[in-house]
Structures are given as structure tokens and as C-alpha cells.
Amino acid sequence: MALLQISEPGQSPDPHQRRVVVGIDLGTTHSLVAAVRHGVAECLPDDAGRVILPSVVRYLPPTDGGASRQIGFEALASQLQDPANTVVSVKRLMGRLKADVAQVDQLPYTVLDRPGMATIQTAGGEKTPIDVSADILATLRYRAEDTFDDELFGAVITVPAYFDDAQRQATKDAAQLAGIHVMRLINEPTAAAIAYGLDNGSEGTYAVFDLGGGTFDISILKLTQGVFEVVATGGDSALGGDDYDRALLDWLMAQAGHPEWLKQASPLDRATLQQAARAMKEQLSAVPDDTTPVSRVVQTALGPLTWQANRVQLAAATQALTGRTLSAVRKALRDAQLDKSEVHGVVMVGGSTRMPTVRQAVADFFGQPLLTNLNPDEVVALGAAIQANQLAGNNPDGELLLLDVIPLSLGLETMGGLVERIVPRNTTIPAALAQDFTTYQDGQTALALHVVQGERDLVADCRSLARFELRGIPPMAAGAARIRVTFTIDADGLLGVSAREQGTGVEASITVKPAYGLSDEQIAQMLQDSFTTAQADMQARALVEARVDADRMLLATASALKADGDLLDDAERRAIDDCMAQLRQVVAESTVAADIEASTQALAKGTEAFAALRMNRGISRALSGRQIEAL
């Protein structure tokens, strides 16, 4: 009799069959795919032996055979001839509206303002950033399948730590469109730490400084025996090597005597100049010292422009950008409640960290040498590949546990437009947190739930994520219902919210898939505002809470008077009415929480005797017709 085999949880059903899984670094300027082969993570090359794929797609007019496109190096080579149809830096548009994208007018192609997400006008028609990213991801998928001569089971895809729900969901949508099963989204700095932690056996507290082509992340991690715990994260998803290119270009044009010309330059001239500025930046990063000059002649509509600069001038032109990265580093250290002297090592990730000006600034800040022994372009993809291999069950003996965090707090709107935070920022994910709420009015049979994201105390100052309703609550007195609201954040950082009335089991839930389009500046501003307006927020919250308590007291008193007002004589009734009128006036006119609280307490004290009379009546009714012996 044949025995049926049962596989271990998480392992391949066939112990001799390895699942083909990869890690993908979907970058702003270039992308990579990596896999664990023969026990070692390595980036997979194309037919020409190149592991990097430029994140560039050129769309051509449709032909009889359907839409035509060029991807990667082929598209990059055509950029100067056709900049209007060659899409670069599309990652900056993921999950964004046109108004949210910094310096959108400096892009060589046309960005259209469309509901939900900005789109790009091309010769092949309108393309969303999801469409463009899907073309890049599909190319990497084909590369992996050609390498292994097998179908791809799944992928771990990296995203900036500061990507919000909309940007993460857009990334998953692009992967689905490319036919890739997303096993998990992980933060880019965390992927880099995995590569360093496993390859170098590192333990302790590490900072991961990740400056890519279009995004900057800083993460503080604790590494202990294969456990990667992210204790704080920060950064700016609108800051990267592209911004250094533009800052250098602005400086070079000012030195050439044409500081304003770029504003009216053609897309072709703008693309030519940006490519030249990037090449010059890379040249300056490779020269032996800070004072060696680099010269370049660029052909434009103005005629030939002669540029010259050295590394000191590059550092000065980009000083403000480097300062922004260090400000985010200080903020992350404060969130982690650490001093920079407690950091054991600093991992440098992203091609832009090759700039000596950036490396020197970070080394000076931390006062120690930097970890740069892994290729900064490849380290994120390598870490993602290690994580994918673990999730696929290909390495059952591995001891890797990944504990990531969310960048912004999540909560619910409560009465008065206040935010009740359920999940604080920097909470380790995956996570599930719950809190009990109740009804505000007698007989309330439904509850409107408004999910928000941010660090401020008032809903108006936070970002709305989703709304849904819980219906079917049995009518009961205000405050009697017990409604448990649970926030569930999965390993990808995506949110689900459910509400359940504990008595009846009535339940409603929603998977938060927000309309795309949270500004990166808004993310940074949310955190900045939470500190600069902390005192004002506390006062505003106290005032709103005082007014809500006053309204609740007035409703309860009015309800009691309606039910049992006959227990009072005229003088007692007038005294309570006067207290209520006084409280209504204070609520309407005062902006001081203490005044409203005092008036609320006055009404509570003025109704104490009435409350005692009501209690006596209730007891009398309950005992009416019953024998003492029965009690």
C-alpha cells in the first residue's frame, strides 16, 4: 500500500523540487532581479551579462502587430532622440497625483492630471505608472524564467520604507499586471540589512542609509541571531540621485550664464543636459581628490556649453540635499531613542551613496567608517532574494525572522473630529491591534467608521484612508454597546479594518485600498507638524473632548428629565434647567477647555439629587411585588 507524503509547512510538496523565487529591486533609475543559487544570493544577468536593467520604457505608436515598446538599455539609448515618449523615474509617480509630484514640469515627458493617479501621455497612448512599472517587472520576470528555464513561483519586491499604502498597493498592482505573484513587499533598507546581516554575521544596532535614484530611506535596525527588528524608519521618498543631478545642473547653468534657460528648454535639450549632468556627477565621484576639475562640452540649442567643476563645488551645489538626509537621520535616531554613538555600523545602500560628498557627510555625522563592502546597487536585490528563498521553504534550516515597521500612525475618527490612534507609527509588522468603542446616542443602530493616517490629534490634519459602516447594532442606551475595532497590518504593510459588536456578533470589515495619491511632502510634513504643533494639538484635543463630554452630559440629562421629570418639584426642575442653559452657553462661547469642564461638573453636581431619586424609583420598581424571602 502506497503512503501519501505530506510536506512540512512552508516547504515544497516535493522535497527534491525547489521553487523558483526571486528578489526584485524595482528602482527609480535602474532595477535588478536576484535569486539564491547554490546557497548564495546573486543578481541575474541578461543575455549581454548585465545585471542592471535601466528603469526606462519607450512607447512607440501602435503597429499592425499591436503596441510596441522598448525597455531598459534600448529605451535609454533612444531617450535623447525621443524624450517625450521615453518614460524615466516612473517610481516617483507611483500612487501619486500630478500635484503631488515635485518638479513634475522638469520631466521630459507629459504628465496628465487624472483622477486617482497621474498618467503619462505617450505615442502608445496614456500609460499609468503601474503600466510602466509592469513592463519593467515583466522584463525581469522573463530574465529569471530564462535563467532557470522554469516558471517563476513568486517574488519578494522591495519598496522604499516611506512608501504609504497607496504606493505599496500600486507596486503590488504592477506586479500582478506583470504576472508575478508577490510573496511579500519589504522595505529596501531592511532588504539591505538582511544581505549584510547574513553575509557578515553582524549583530547589534545598525543604521541603513539608503539613497537611491529617486528616494531616500533611513532605518535603524537591531540584528540579533537572525532576527531583524526595525526600531525606527524615516526618510524622504522625493529625494534621490535625480535631485543631485538637477542641483548640479542648475549650478552649472548658472556658472555658464544661463540660470533661467532650463525653464523654457525643449524636452530634447532638457534630457540632454540632465544626462550630461549625471555623467559629470559620476565622473566627479571617480576622480582621486576633491580639487581635480572635470570638464565637459554639451551641445544645446544655445550652442556648445562648456562646463567645469570639482568635487568641492559639487558638494556645495548639493549641500542642502545632503543636509535633508542628515535631518532625517537625526529624526530616526530620536524615534529609536538612541544616540548616534550607540550605532555599531552604518550600511550604505543605493547608487547615489557612491558620491564621496555623501559618504563623507555620513561618516562625519556618525564618527565611524561606513560599511560599503557590498555593491550598493545590488545589495537590496540580494537581500530580497534571501527573504524570498526563506519564504518559499527552500531553506528550511534558515533562522531569518524579519520584523518591519509602519511609517505613520493609524487610527479612527471619534466624536468631535478627534483621532484615536490604534496603531502607533514604528509599530512592528505584521500586527493586529484592537480597541473597544461604544455608541454616542440612545437607540443608535449603526456606527460610521473613518480610518485615518497621521500624527495629529484632529482628523482635519490627518489623511483619510477609508470609510465604512457597521449596521445592525441592537438599539440600547448610549454607551451600552461594545464594538471592538481591529486593525490588521500584513507583512506588506497593507491595512485591513474590522468592527464587531460583541453582544450580537454583527460584523463589518474593509480592506483599505486608498485612492492613489499621497504627496511625499505630506508624509514628511505630517511628522514635522506632529512635533511643531504638539502643544496646540493638545489644547485643541482638550477643548474638543470637553465639548463632547458636555454634549453627552446634556443629552443624558435631557433623556432623564423626559423619563422621570415628574420626580422634581418646580424649583428643582428650574435649577437643573438653569445649569443646562449655562452649560450650553459656555460650550457655544468659550474656547477654554477648563471653563467647559467646570460647567459640566456643575451640571453633574446639580443633578446628583435627581439621580438618587431616579435610582430609588428604579429599585422600587424592581422589587415591587416580591417577597423578602425570595431575595
Is residue 497 within 8 Å of 453, Cβ to Cβ? no
Q: Which residues pair with 228 in a beta bridge?
A: 223, 402
In this structure, what C-alpha cell is assigned to residue 592?
Answer: 477654554
Instruction: Evaluate the CA torsion angle 108, 117, 242, 123 in order and state its sign.
Output: negative
Considering only 12-21, 471-480, 486-495, which range has the smallest mean pLDDT? 12-21
pLDDT value, residue 139: 94
Q: What is the DSSP letter of 458?
A: B
State mean pLDDT over 100-110: 78
By CB atoms closer than 10 A (0-12, 13-18, 19+), residue 602 is middle
Smallest CA-to-CA distance from 426 within 349, 335, 500, 516 is with 335
Question: What is the pTM assigned to this prediction?
Answer: 0.63
Task: Say if residues 503 and 480 touch (Cβ distance below 8 Å).
Answer: no
Half-sphere exposure of 292 (CA within 13 A, CB side): 8
Structural domain boundaries in the chain: 21-240+321-404, 241-320, 406-531, 535-623
8 Å CB contact between 239 and 215 = yes
Tell me the pLDDT tens digit for each residue of 254-271.
888 888 887 778 877 888
| pLDDT (tens digit per residue) in 307-365 | 889 999 999 999 999 999 999 999 999 988 999 999 988 989 888 899 999 999 999 99
- Topology classification of domain 406-531: Substrate Binding Domain Of DNAk; Chain A, domain 1 (2.60.34)
Report the C-alpha gap between 624 and 192 in whole angstroms: 75
Residue from 30, 41, 39 nearest 90 by CA? 30
Choice among 82, 131, 173, 210 that is catalytic: 210
b or e along 14-47 (b: 16 or more beta carbons within 10 Å of the residue's beta carbon)?
eeeebbbbbbbbbbbbbbbbbbbeeeebebbebe
- Classify strands 182-187 and 154-159 as parallel, antiparallel or unpaired: parallel
Give catalytic status of residue 210 as yes or no: yes
Q: Residue 498 in contact with residue 468, Cβ under 8 Å? A: no
Taking all residues of the chain, what is their mean pLDDT, rounded to a whole number?
Answer: 81
Query: Could you tell me the three cell numbers for 261?
Result: 534657460
Expressed in angstroms, the distance from the first to the final Cα of the chain is 70
Q: Do domains 406-531 and 535-623 have the same CATH topology?
A: no
Return phi, psi of residue 195, to 5°.
-60, -45
In angstroms, how far apart are the furthest CA atoms of the chain? 110
Distances (CA, A) of 191 to 44, 110, 219, 382: 17, 33, 11, 8
- pLDDT at position 455: 77
Q: Which residue has the cell 513587499?
A: 185
Instruction: Compute how many other C-beta atoms are within 10 angstroms of the C-beta atom of residue 319.
Output: 13
Tell me the pLDDT tens digit for each residue of 17-73. 568 999 999 998 899 999 998 888 999 999 999 999 999 999 988 765 555 889 999
Cell triple for 215: 528616494
More reliable by pLDDT, 200 or 35: 35
The question of whether 281 is a catalytic residue gets the answer no
CB atoms within 10 A of CB 519: 19
Question: With bands split at pLDDT 50, 70 and 90, how would you rate the model's confidence at 602?
Answer: confident
Active site residue 608: no
Say if residue 401's pLDDT is above 80.
Answer: no
The CATH topology of domain 535-623 is Substrate Binding Domain Of Dnak; Chain:A; Domain 2 (1.20.1270)
At residue 3, the pLDDT reads 46
In this prediction, what percent of the chain has a pLDDT beyond 90? Answer: 22
Q: Which of 188, 413, 545, 549 is catalytic?
A: 188
Counting beta carbons within 10 angstroms of the beta carbon of residue 350, is it exposed (0 to 12), middle (13 to 18) or buried (19 or more)?
buried
Burial state string for 552-590 with b = 16 or more CB within 10 A and e = fewer than 16? bbbebbeebbeeeeebbeeebeeebeebbeebeebbeeb
Cα torsion at 473, 476, 482, 483 (round to 10°)?
30
CA 184 to chain centre: 15
CA distances to 204, 404, 419, 576 from 227, rounded to whole Å, are 11, 11, 33, 62
CATH architecture for segment(s) 21-240+321-404:
2-Layer Sandwich (3.30)
Q: Residues of 88-121 as b/e, b for ≥16 C-beta within 10 angstroms?
A: bbbbbbbbbbbebbeebeebbbebeeeeebbbbe
Question: How big is the chain, counted in residues?
Answer: 631
Q: The dihedral of CA 530, 534, 538, 539: what is its sign?
A: negative
| 340 carries an active-site annotation | no
Q: Which CATH superfamily is domain 241-320 in?
A: ATPase, substrate binding domain, subdomain 4 (3.90.640.10)
pLDDT tens-digit map of 137-187: 999 999 999 999 889 999 999 998 778 778 888 898 899 889 899 999 988
Q: Which of 82, 91, 164, 281 is catalytic?
A: 91
- Per-residue pLDDT averaged across 577-600, rounded? 84
User: What pLDDT score was predicted for residue 144?
Assistant: 94
